[in-house]
Each structure stands twice: as structure tokens, then as C-alpha cells.
């Protein structure tokens, strides 16, 4: 089995580190969080009493 030179290991480590950081940043900024208090704000409670 051929061995890799140390410079190849460094480039491989940098490549996967940058790929991991890119995916983390994309995941962080693409996630939309809507708080619960904002969702309940638009709801109107209408109670119709039938006596």
C-alpha cells in the first residue's frame, strides 16, 4: 500500500476542515427559527357562546 507524503495529509486535513466549516455556516444561516410568541400573536381567539 503506498504511503502519502505529509504535505498531502495537510492538504486533505485543510480541505475537510474547510468543507466542515462551510457546511456549518450554511446550516446556521439557512435555518429559519420562528419563535412561538410570534406565531401566537397573529391568532385571534373568538369565543361564541350559545346559551
DSSP string, 1-51: -PPPPHHHHHHHHHHHHHHHHHHHHHHHHH-----HHHHHHT---------
pLDDT in tens, 3-25: 778 888 899 999 999 999 999 99
Averaged pLDDT score across all residues of the chain: 80
More confident residue, 34 or 8: 8
Model pTM greater than 0.75? Answer: no
Amino acid at each position: 500500500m503506498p504511503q502519502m507524503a505529509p504535505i498531502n495529509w495537510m492538504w486533505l486535513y485543510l480541505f475537510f476542515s474547510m468543507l466542515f466549516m462551510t457546511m456549518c455556516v450554511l446550516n446556521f444561516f439557512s435555518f429559519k427559527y420562528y419563535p412561538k410568541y410570534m406565531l401566537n400573536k397573529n391568532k385571534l381567539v373568538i369565543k361564541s357562546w350559545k346559551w
